Structure 1
Amino acid sequence: MQVQDEDKPYDDINITPMLDLAYVLLVIFIIMTTAAVQGIKVNLPKASSSVSLAKPQTKAITVSDTGQVFLDAFPVTMGELEQRLREQKALTPDFPVIVKGDSNVQYQKVVDVLDLLRRLELTQVGLVTGKQSS
């Protein structure tokens, strides 16, 4: 039987508590970042089927029920929207854009946004709809 010396310091450090803390912090970070990603709540029109256009660098343009235009949840004017989309097109020529229009918004506001996208020659454009209730 071998007996340890009382004066001998420990050779290794137990890192299990540090790993437990790292995992807890990682979980908290993941939960907080997914909870922080929010958009503008709009009442989407219903369609019989909807296609997902979720791609990296997808720009979301939202038209709220009051007619306010948002680009990725930030309010913009039509001039600012055009400028930012031109900047993005200079970086990525063929980036996808999705348009979410509230079902109560004036149709002309959504047409103005679509006309702007046509003038900028953006071809990957999708309209977001809600699921039709049975």
Structure 2
Amino acid sequence: MQGPYNRRKRRKLSSEINVVPFIDVMLVLLIIFMITAPMMNQGVDVELPKVSSEPIENQADPVIVSVDKAGQYYINLGDDHEKPIELDEIGDQVVKIVTRNPKTPVMVRGDTNATYGQIVTLMSTLQGAGVPNVGLISDPPSAN
């Protein structure tokens, strides 16, 4: 006495995930980031000196302190505001960063037209804040 219900085969549910919409979204995001990444410029617009040197390897995100051609100081802490900051405030902020993570590299971006005295004063302030090594950022020379 088998009824008509036993003759039909039941379909087994598929447990696979359809990844095609996920791939479409990821490709769109990839294209958006590829277009917008070159447009993002963090920090202050500084004309760096052209010097050939070996690049250094960073273990952590560096703190970048900038000096523009007018002699104003800026610090890049990951936020987007570009307000000039006093030299004493730079020292206080760098002390807080170095005490939290002593291996944080500190780099100086100095404009080509900034005076030597401004760069040396900044480096002295950074050393007074407990930074053992201060790096200088430069652009590679253009091949003409």
TM-score, normalized by the shorter chain, greater than 0.5: yes
SS for the counterpart of 1:76 is coil
Deviations 1:73-101 (A, max 9, x none): 74321121111101101211232111111
Aligned to 1:129: 138
Aligned to 2:90: 81
1:47 aligns with 2:87: no
Does structure 1 conserve the Cα–Cα contact (< 8 Å) formed by 2:106 and 2:135?
yes
The TM-score with structure 1 as length reference comes to 0.74
CA–CA distance in 1 between the matches of 2:130 and 2:89? Answer: 17
Does structure 2 conserve the Cα–Cα contact (< 8 Å) formed by 1:57 and 1:96?
yes
Flag the structure with larger Rg: 2
Aligned to 1:64: 68
SS for the counterpart of 2:135 is strand
Does structure 2 conserve the Cα–Cα contact (< 8 Å) formed by 1:50 and 1:130?
no
CA–CA distance in 2 between the matches of 1:41 and 1:87? Answer: 26
55 and 105 in structure 1: CA distance in 2 versus 1, 3 angstrom threshold:
same
1:28 aligns with 2:32: yes
SS for the counterpart of 2:56 is coil
| Deviates most, 115-124 or 84-93 | 115-124
Does structure 2 conserve the Cα–Cα contact (< 8 Å) formed by 1:60 and 1:71?
yes
Does structure 2 conserve the Cα–Cα contact (< 8 Å) formed by 1:50 and 1:131?
no
Structure 1 vs Structure 2 CA RMSD:
2.9
Paired letter, 1:95: T
Paired letter, 2:99: A
Q: Note the residue ranges of structure 2 that are not aligned, 5 or more in a row.
A: 1-12
| Deviates most, 54-63 or 32-41 | 32-41
Name the count of aligned residue pairs. 126
SS for the counterpart of 2:66 is strand
Paired letter, 1:21: V
Instruction: Spell out structure 1 runs of 4+ moving beyond 4 A.
Output: 11-15
